[in-house]
Chains A and B, each alone.
Chain A
Amino acid sequence: MSLPKISTYEVKTARSGHEVPVVNGVHLHSIYNPTKEAENLAEAQLEILEKKNEVLILGLGFGYHVNAIVEKLTEFHQENFSVIVIEPNSQVFEECSALNLINKKNVLVYSGFSSSELYRDIDLIHFLLRKPAMIAHPPSFNLYHSYFKNILTFEAPQDIKNINEYISTKEIQNYLSAFDQNTTLNEVLYNEIPNKGQLKETDFLAMALFEMTKSNHAKKLIMES
């Protein structure tokens, strides 16, 4: 999935004096008072922000809502929190950074990444595995709806050829290279390795993975059928 097409981009000044990006004619923040609007967004999420110290925000804009969320997280968790923001529009991010609008404490922004690029990033994956709170910035989410929908419903390619592009460990890449590149890891685990006459060292690792995950695979198969 490619990044969303940006036809027009401009920056307006809100009545409160704050800068507001306008993309494809959509105002990403309130044209009256962006910080007040951001505070309201954070207030609406208080319960979850108290429970979780990791937050994934979909949409950066000029980051007023990010700052409001960071403020609440600091209140609840002091320094012990982290925020990741996903923003498809690099221009918005660059300008936001240039204007020094976001509080960068414990905040990491992924800007201009396609979904397949995002799901290759092991740090982001570890962050997602910890089940962070997810907060959408409504104007950004609506504007880039298909981009974010694609992120949320992404399906990683499963053939060995593509898997090898996702992972970075040489030894595992070499191991997987020995199998038919069009086959899947499941095919390897469920059929190819069990039918091997002689197992090599890493085959045992793969079999351990198979045993660890097979009931989930079975559940998945049942759900799919």
Chain B
Amino acid sequence: MKNILIINFRRIGDVYTTGHLLNSLTSNKDNTVSLLIFKESEKAAKNLKGLKNLHTIDRQEIVTLKSNKLFSDGFALEQLFNQLQEIRNQKWDEIINYSNDIIGAYICSYLRNSTEKVIGVHFNESKDIITSNDWELLFNDVLPMVKYSPLHFVDCYHKMLNVTHNPNGEKIITNPNHNSMAFSNMNSIRENFANGQNPVKIVGIQLKTSDTSKDLPEELISDLISLLRETNHLVPVILIAPTDEERNYAQDIIGKFKNDIALVEADLEAIASVLMNIDILITPDTAIKHIADLTETPVLEISLGYAPFLKQGTYSEGSLILSDIISDRSFSKNNQTENLKTNIKAVDIISSVLYFFGKTKSIRPRLSNNVTLYSCSFDQLGARYAVVAGSIDAQTEIQRLMTRRLINCLYDNNDSNELFSSIIDFGTAAVAAWCKSEKFNLTIVMKDLLGTLRSLIQIQENRKSSKDFIFNLGKLISHTDQETLLQIPLLMFKTKVEQIKSKTSEENAKEIEGLLYYLKSDVQKALQGINHLEDRSAVQRKDDFINRTPEMGNN
């Protein structure tokens, strides 16, 4: 039996994403899982199914005690101590720093003596950062530097813990009264709109996020509602939280339709029941999206602003994501410019909804320029976003998928080529161009790597060569800035070099030498992957040539 504590100090939406890991962990009946969060996220965490205990830190109270001159600073420390005592007095098998932030790292370090094992970033007594496997390094140090994340964060946590993702099972607690009320209300809507032809589909529209840069523009929502009403079977239902701000905003929109739009006001406890009774949720990046994933409600995520859908997008099989073409997007909050315009139009959203409900998936929606539709499916590494329709930056997409394949190969020892057919779908010419560019880059990196190795060996013979070594090492590490296939192994190498604890120069040199050989092996594996892709692409080109019609040949 394992007694596990997950620490997640992030916001409500992120607390909900813990539900996936919690479900996977508790699918082993021998595991008991508790959660430590900030008190302000308690409402969300209370809805997660399978928790043994919920522990909270009242951050607002502690911050007030510390910042308000009326109170002694000592109370802040004492309250933090008291609020953690129950956890500290237990014996844990694993404590997981899920939020992977600095506060989580210090709390894990504080609780080190109460657990057999800490997973996720924490410190030892000498303040060195401790990580226990490559997946942790990948998550903490490598992926944040990669613009187009090849991996979903939920899957990273599963890999860090070596837990298999379990998509089945109830992940959220619902209230039977709310369930019955939501069922009855949605059923009434279905009956009211039934026309004997297409079955009525209820389309939930989530109006607001906690960040205006991620919100759907008001005009887009109005246009979307108009288009939905023009169909004879898609019924829009507006979803809001019980706040005056959202009520007023919803009223402005509904007013445009003579108040003839259903409005559902639900708090975090009731919203899951509502979501379970609609057919699809259209939403920006919100906590509601994460709840929909836990209730297995299909989602069409409209990813706007800096919403990092590639690492935190909707996490359920078949759900869809509409995004401006990813090469035009910035996923960093700091790089956001005000009033960032989106190319996504209401017609793109409705086309995607119709595609979702369509019986055949071979007819793909036509989208506005520079808009892409992705669908979520699951492979050996977890959630994967595949392009369904729209504008494509083929080089970026090939890069993203090949990086995913490389991660699978390097850190999961899985040399699967299952992604090749999706990659070749971007066109053999695009594949050829990508392979050529990557091979060129790989040759330069390999040259710099061998140069670094050579100068390292020369140090052992002549101390004066250390200057050359430092220069070569810097040159090698400078490649981490480039968005290439080797970015991940190079970043991993850099992280491990930075983590080397200062010892004798001979010991340091030996350790770096080992890392350089490890990197060399990674580069060779990357090259093998490119070669395999080229082979597959050549076979495809041959097939295309054999199967082409005479008309095609004349073109």
| Chain A residues at the B interface, C-beta cutoff of 8 Å | 119-120, 122, 125-126, 128-129, 154-158, 162-164, 166-169, 171-172, 176, 184-186, 197-202, 204-209, 211-213, 216-217, 219-220
**Interface assignment of B69: CB less than 8 Å from any CB of chain A:** yes
The listed residue with most A CB atoms (<10 A of its CB), out of B64, B71, B109, is B71
Chain A contacts of B81 at CB under 8 A? 169, 171-172, 202, 205
**Are the CB atoms of A164 and B74 closer together than 8 Å?**
yes
**Are the CB atoms of B70 and A156 closer together than 8 Å?**
yes
**Are the CB atoms of B70 and A119 closer together than 8 Å?**
yes
**Are the CB atoms of B103 and A208 closer together than 8 Å?**
yes
Residue interface bits B103-119, CB-to-A below 8 A is 1, else 0: 10011011011000000
**Are the CB atoms of A204 and B123 closer together than 8 Å?**
yes
Which residue in chain B gives the minimum CB-CB distance to A166? B72
Looking at the assembled complex, report how far the CB atom of A189 sits from the nearest CB atom of chain B, in whole angstroms: 9
Among all A-B residue pairs, the 9 with the closest Cβ atoms: A163-B74, A208-B106, A204-B110, A166-B72, A185-B73, A204-B109, A156-B72, A216-B67, A213-B66
17 A-B pairs within 8 Å (CB atoms) are namely A154-B69, A157-B72, A167-B72, A167-B78, A172-B74, A186-B73, A199-B125, A199-B126, A201-B112, A201-B113, A202-B110, A204-B110, A205-B84, A205-B107, A206-B77, A208-B110, A213-B62
Partner of B103, one of A129, A166, A167, A211: A211
Chain B contacts of A129 at CB under 8 A? 61, 64-65
In whole angstroms, how far apart are the Cα atoms of A217 and B69 in the complex? 11
**Interface assignment of B63: CB less than 8 Å from any CB of chain A:** yes
**14 more CB-based (< 8 A) A-B contacts, given A168-B78, A204-B112, A217-B67:** A119-B70, A156-B69, A158-B72, A163-B72, A166-B75, A167-B75, A186-B73, A199-B127, A202-B110, A204-B123, A205-B81, A205-B107, A212-B59, A216-B66
Looking at the assembled complex, report how far the CB atom of A162 sits from the nearest CB atom of chain B, in whole angstroms: 7
Chain A contacts of B67 at CB under 8 A? 213, 216-217, 219-220
Which residue in chain A gives the minimum CB-CB distance to B66? A213
In whole angstroms, how far apart are the Cα atoms of A197 and B128 in the complex? 11
Chain B contacts of A211 at CB under 8 A? 102-103, 106
| Chain B residues at the A interface, C-beta cutoff of 8 Å | 59, 61-67, 69-78, 80-82, 84, 102-103, 106-107, 109-110, 112-113, 123, 125-127
Chain A contacts of B75 at CB under 8 A? 122, 125, 166-167
The listed residue with most A CB atoms (<10 A of its CB), out of B64, B72, B82, B126, is B72
Chain A contacts of B69 at CB under 8 A? 154-156
Partner of B110, one of A122, A205, A216: A205
Which residue in chain A gives the minimum CB-CB distance to B126? A198
Chain A contacts of B113 at CB under 8 A? 201
In whole angstroms, how far apart are the Cα atoms of A129 and B106 in the complex? 25
**Are the CB atoms of A205 and B72 closer together than 8 Å?**
no
**Are the CB atoms of B74 and A185 closer together than 8 Å?**
yes
**Are the CB atoms of B127 and A209 closer together than 8 Å?**
no
Partner of B126, one of A176, A186, A197, A209: A197
Looking at the assembled complex, report how far the CB atom of B114 sits from the nearest CB atom of chain A, in whole angstroms: 10
**Are the CB atoms of A204 and B107 closer together than 8 Å?**
yes
Chain B contacts of A120 at CB under 8 A? 72
- Contacts A169-B78, A201-B112, A209-B62; A119 near B71 (Cβ below 8 A): yes
In whole angstroms, how far apart are the Cα atoms of A216 and B113 in the complex? 30
In whole angstroms, how far apart are the Cα atoms of A1 and B321 in the complex? 64
Chain B contacts of A208 at CB under 8 A? 80, 103, 106-107, 110
Looking at the assembled complex, report how far the CB atom of B11 sits from the nearest CB atom of chain A, in whole angstroms: 15
**Are the CB atoms of B63 and A212 closer together than 8 Å?**
yes
Chain B contacts of A168 at CB under 8 A? 78
Which residue in chain B gives the minimum CB-CB distance to A163? B74
Which residue in chain B gives the minimum CB-CB distance to A214? B66
Looking at the assembled complex, report how far the CB atom of B102 sits from the nearest CB atom of chain A, in whole angstroms: 5
In whole angstroms, how far apart are the Cα atoms of A155 and B68 in the complex? 9
Partner of A200, one of B63, B72, B78, B125: B125
**Are the CB atoms of B110 and A156 closer together than 8 Å?**
no
Chain A contacts of B110 at CB under 8 A? 201-202, 204-205, 208
In whole angstroms, how far apart are the Cα atoms of A195 and B434 in the complex? 49
Chain A contacts of B76 at CB under 8 A? 209, 213
In whole angstroms, how far apart are the Cα atoms of A44 and B405 in the complex? 70
Which residue in chain B gives the minimum CB-CB distance to A198? B125
Chain B contacts of A206 at CB under 8 A? 77
Looking at the assembled complex, report how far the CB atom of B225 sits from the nearest CB atom of chain A, in whole angstroms: 36
Chain A contacts of B102 at CB under 8 A? 211
In whole angstroms, how far apart are the Cα atoms of A162 and B71 in the complex? 12
Chain A contacts of B71 at CB under 8 A? 119, 125, 156
Chain B contacts of A157 at CB under 8 A? 72
Chain A contacts of B127 at CB under 8 A? 199
- Contacts A213-B66, A217-B67; A205 near B77 (Cβ below 8 A): yes
The listed residue with most B CB atoms (<10 A of its CB), out of A163, A199, A202, A209, is A209
Which residue in chain B gives the minimum CB-CB distance to A207? B106
In whole angstroms, how far apart are the Cα atoms of A145 and B63 in the complex? 30
**Are the CB atoms of B66 and A217 closer together than 8 Å?**
yes
Looking at the assembled complex, report how far the CB atom of A178 sits from the nearest CB atom of chain B, in whole angstroms: 13
Partner of B78, one of A156, A172, A201: A172
**Are the CB atoms of A125 and B65 closer together than 8 Å?**
yes
Partner of B66, one of A171, A207, A209: A209
Which residue in chain B gives the minimum CB-CB distance to A205? B110
Which residue in chain A gives the minimum CB-CB distance to B110? A204
In whole angstroms, how far apart are the Cα atoms of A171 and B88 in the complex? 13
Partner of B73, one of A126, A158, A169, A212: A158
Looking at the assembled complex, report how far the CB atom of A129 sits from the nearest CB atom of chain B, in whole angstroms: 5
Chain B contacts of A201 at CB under 8 A? 110, 112-113
Looking at the assembled complex, report how far the CB atom of B163 sits from the nearest CB atom of chain A, in whole angstroms: 26
- Contacts A129-B65, A163-B72, A216-B67; A209 near B123 (Cβ below 8 A): no
**Are the CB atoms of A166 and B74 closer together than 8 Å?**
yes
Looking at the assembled complex, report how far the CB atom of A187 sits from the nearest CB atom of chain B, in whole angstroms: 10
Chain B contacts of A200 at CB under 8 A? 125
In whole angstroms, how far apart are the Cα atoms of A171 and B89 in the complex? 14
Looking at the assembled complex, report how far the CB atom of A102 sits from the nearest CB atom of chain B, in whole angstroms: 26
Which residue in chain A gives the minimum CB-CB distance to B103? A211
Chain B contacts of A202 at CB under 8 A? 81, 110
Looking at the assembled complex, report how far the CB atom of B42 sits from the nearest CB atom of chain A, in whole angstroms: 16
Which residue in chain B gives the minimum CB-CB distance to A193? B127
**Are the CB atoms of A172 and B70 closer together than 8 Å?**
no
Which residue in chain A gives the minimum CB-CB distance to B58? A129
Which residue in chain A gives the minimum CB-CB distance to B122? A204
Which residue in chain B gives the minimum CB-CB distance to A154? B70
**Are the CB atoms of A167 and B63 closer together than 8 Å?**
no
The listed residue with most B CB atoms (<10 A of its CB), out of A122, A166, A208, is A208
Chain B contacts of A163 at CB under 8 A? 72-74
Looking at the assembled complex, report how far the CB atom of B235 sits from the nearest CB atom of chain A, in whole angstroms: 38
